[in-house]
Chain A
Amino acid sequence: MSDNSLLQAMYQSVGINPHTLWAQPDVARIEIHANQVLGVHLVHGLEVDARQLDDGIEARILVTKGTRIAKPIQVCFGMIPDNGVQRIILEIVVEDDARAGVVAHCTFPNARNIRHEMDARLTIGRNAEYAYIERHVHGAEGGVVVIPRSKVRVLEGGRYHTDFELIRGRVGQIDIDIELVGEAHSTSEVAARVSGSGDDRINIREVAHLAGAYARGVLQTSVALRHRAEAMVHNTLRASAPYARGHVDCKEIVQDQAVAKAVPVVEVTHPKAHVTHEAAIGSVDSRQLETLMSRGLSEDEAVDLIIQGLLLKGRSGSQPAGVSYQADVLSVTSS
């Protein structure tokens, strides 16, 4: 396939018309297939330095000091063939007082035997803002292993928001691992929404340390499981500074023979810090189910709608600057 055909196929698999994107000069883009950078379009204040690896890409992305990128940067990465390895090593630096949002479309629509690894190190500068939404689209076979690992440091007054979504196609196996440190007056929100079915395996480990005074942090996980899928969620939130505030929220819906486990850990080592947690695992609420069935939905339709609500919950809440959802399609808006 030509580079252009690969790009078209990748965008189409995530429901986006690339020509609409390409027609917008003020929207930055980075497009990666396997270990090839197929396209880069930069805007003022955004610098990208990418290097090809045997099995992936190593890249440094910089948003320079004070730059405020109005429209979210569009990142499209994945693989169209049904097998292979893609390893992405990323360093992202958002310098002081800068602001940027990224919408990453990660697609493996034909996967049968694919391994995708992401190792990211992020530094969010003083009073900087960075929002990252990663939306996965997988094929129906589940033949994909996804291992995203991130280490994030949010400096004083910085704001960080990340939202991982995998609700289209089969998960296969996923191991999310994120570690975050929030300094004084920083705000961090980490959300993951995953729908598993078949024999999917989902492991989510989120660890946040609110290390500075008045740091704020929320870890939010929503998982829906069907068939024989299994999920294990570890959320750990530590607060060690005065007036640090945090919350852990984990919700899992299980059906059929699926198995869900959650281990929320909250740790407070300063008398003026405060952390709360909430974890709920169970089947679909019977009152919700009966309400929708009393409007004429079949039991399956009602369950689908309830799960859709749970998994899209993050979308209706706070959204990062410059990024919004319209219906089921990510859209680019001015901030």
Chain B
Amino acid sequence: MTILELKNVTLCLDGKRILNDLSIEFWQGHIHALIGPNGAGKSTTANVIMGLSGYTDFEGDVLYQGRSIKGLTIDQRARLGITLAWQEPARFEGLSVYSFIKAAARNSGDAKVREVLRQVGLDPEKYLSRSVDRTLSGGERKRIELASILAMQPKLVLLDEPDSGIDVEALERIFDALKLLKQQGTTVIMITHSLAVLRHAEHAFLLCCGRLVSKGAVDKIANYFQQRCIPCDHQELKLREAEGLNVG
């Protein structure tokens, strides 16, 4: 069953077309990956879905559970169950890990805050009173971001480059969290250009130059990405576009 659908989304930033008539459907409860080279429009797609500032003026539509969310603010979308974990999560001077996670788990008690920290491999006793600031490593910050998302119990999560800037142990914890989200029935959309991350998805969508180039089983897309995209540097798509070929 489709939970989210992008319909012919075209977005221009600074006069440049970043998303180009993009149409994708995501299925409820599945783990999806958006893969593609740098500049393909992956993060932009996530930003459009979340409704971030600067990404709300576009052609086309975004349907969530069959209804347009185009006019909704970020918090309205979040209250529908959509959330986003940024590639580089924000840091908050003075805001404790407890307050940060609790903000996402307003209907749950303190036990939930502790539980989600444990689920991402962080000891609540050591972390609850720490600040979500520069004293946390990149991996710790990413795990706290995921803990906050687990606490929110969303219906749809956008994970932008979940593996960037973190060590192997933190990455394993992030994959564990992915499993938990899947068990909870959460739909996941991962933005990545890493084949290691791609392997944890059930479906993959390959983007290039703001267009959907291919979609389907992860192995198929991974092979295509490895053999065609990495050496291509967008040239093939540009050639095909120039020749007027269908690139969908």
| B79 and A309 form a contact (CB under 8 A) | no
Please, how many angstroms separate the alpha-carbon atoms of A296 and B148 in the complex?
A: 11
Count chain A residues whose beta carbon lies closer than 8 angstroms to a beta carbon of B.
Answer: 29
Q: Is A312 an interface residue (CB 8 A)?
A: yes
A277-308 near B? 1/0 per residue, CB < 8 Å:
00000000111101111111111011001101
Residue of B74, B84, B104, B152 with highest tally of chain A CB at under 10 A: B74
A44 on the B face (CB < 8 A):
no
A105 is an interface residue with CB less than 8 A from chain B: no
A251 touches B106 (CB 8 A): no
Contact flags B25-65 to A (C-beta < 8 A → 1, else 0): 00000000000000000000000001011000000000000
Asked whether B74 lies within 8 Å of A290 as measured between CB atoms, the reply is: yes
Q: Closest residue of chain A to B54, judged by CB?
A: A286
Would B94 and A316 count as touching, CB distance under 8 A? yes
Set of chain A residues within 8 Å of B131, measured between Cβ atoms? 309, 313, 316
Minimum CB distance partner of A315 in chain B: B94
Q: Is A192 an interface residue (CB 8 A)?
A: no
Q: Are the C-beta atoms of B93 and A310 separated by less than 8 Å?
A: yes
Bound-state CA distance A243–B104 (Å) is: 46
Please provide the chain B residues from 125 to 162 with a CB less than 8 Å away from any CB of chain A in the complex. 129-131, 148-149, 152
Q: Does B186 touch A at the CB level, under 8 Å?
A: no
Instruction: Pick from B53, B103, B129: contact of A297, CB below 8 A.
Output: B103
Once the chains bind, are A309 and B92 in contact (CB under 8 Å)? yes
**Contacts A294-B78, A297-B75 given: A287-B86 contact, CB under 8 Å?**
yes
Interface membership of B89, Cβ < 8 A: yes
**A305 B103 Cβ-Cβ under 8 A:** yes
Q: Does B96 contact A (CB under 8 A)?
A: yes
B94 neighbours in A (Cβ, 8 Å)? 222, 308-316
Contact residues, B63-117 vs A (CB, 8 A): 73-75, 77-79, 82-84, 86, 89-90, 92-96, 99, 103-104, 106
If the complex has contacts A296-B78, A296-B79, are A290 and B52 also in contact, measured as CB distance less than 8 A? yes
Distance from B83 Cβ to chain A, minimum over Cβ atoms (Å): 5
With the chains together, A292 CA to B50 CA distance in Å? 12
Partner of B95, one of A287, A294, A296, A309: A309
A-side contacts of B50, CB under 8 Å: 290, 294
Across the interface, do A313 and B93 meet the contact criterion of CB distance under 8 Å? yes
Q: Is the interface of B mostly helix, strand, loop or mixed?
A: mixed
What's the nearest-Cβ distance from chain A to residue B106, in Å? 7
Least CB distance from B52 to A in Å reads: 6
Specify which of B53, B77, B90 is in contact with A285 (CB 8 Å cutoff). Answer: B90
Contact A293 B93 (CB under 8 A): no
How many whole Å from B113's CB to the nearest CB in chain A?
A: 13
Minimum CB–CB distance for B53 against chain A, Å: 6
By the criterion CB–CB under 8 Å, are A288 and B90 in contact?
Answer: yes
A251, A296, A298, A315 interface centre (most CB from chain B within 10 Å): A296
Residue of B nearest to A305 (CB): B103
- Which B residues touch A287, using CB under 8 A? 86, 90
Return the chain B residue nearest A288 by Cβ: B90
Once the chains bind, are B99 and A309 in contact (CB under 8 Å)? yes
| Chain A: CB-nearest residue to B152 | A295
Partner of A291, one of B77, B90, B99: B90
Task: Give the complex CA separation of A285 and B93 in angstroms.
Answer: 11
Asked whether B99 lies within 8 Å of A295 as measured between CB atoms, the reply is no
Residue of A nearest to B132 (CB): A309
The reply to whether B75 and A293 form a contact with Cβ atoms under 8 Å apart is: yes
Beta-carbon nearest neighbor of A298 in chain B: B75
Most A-side CB within 10 Å, residue of B74, B92, B94: B94
Q: A290-B52, A291-B89 are in contact. Are A296 and B104 (CB under 8 A)?
A: yes
User: B193 CB to closest chain A CB, in angstroms?
Assistant: 22
Which residue from B82, B95, B106, B129 sits with its C-beta under 8 Å from A308? B95
From residue B157, how far is it (CB to closest CB) to chain A in Å?
A: 10
Residues A295 and B93 in contact, CB atoms below 8 Å apart? no
| A316 neighbours in B (Cβ, 8 Å) | 94, 96, 129-131
**A295 and B92 contacting across the interface, CB-CB below 8 Å:** no
Least CB distance, A237 to chain B, in whole angstroms: 20
Nearest CB of A to B3, in Å: 17
Report Cα–Cα, A293/B86, bound state, in Å: 13
Query: Which residues of the other chain, A, contact B78 by a CB distance below 8 angstroms?
Result: 293-297
Contact, CB under 8 Å: A309 / B89: no
The answer for the CA separation of A44 and B52 in the assembled complex, in Å, is 60
Residues of A within 8 A of B99 (CB): 305, 308-309
Contact residue among B75, B79, B92, B129 (Cβ-Cβ distance under 8 Å from A306): B92
User: Quick one: given A293-B74, A295-B152, A296-B78, are A309 and B93 in contact (CB under 8 Å)?
Assistant: yes
> How many angstroms from the CA of A201 to the CA of B93 in the assembled complex?
25
* Chain A positions within 8 Å of B86 at CB level: 287, 291
> CB within 8 Å of A: which residues of B?
50, 52-53, 73-75, 77-79, 82-84, 86, 89-90, 92-96, 99, 103-104, 106, 129-131, 148-149, 152
What are 14 A-B contacts defined by CB distance under 8 Å? A293-B73, A294-B75, A294-B82, A294-B84, A296-B78, A296-B83, A296-B106, A298-B75, A301-B103, A308-B99, A309-B92, A309-B131, A312-B94, A316-B129
Interface contacts beyond A302-B75, A309-B131: sample of 9 additional A-B pairs, CB < 8 Å, sorted by A: A288-B92, A290-B50, A295-B83, A295-B149, A295-B152, A297-B78, A301-B103, A309-B96, A313-B93
Of all A-B residue pairs in the complex, the 4 with the closest CB atoms, nearest first, are: A313-B94, A309-B95, A309-B94, A295-B104
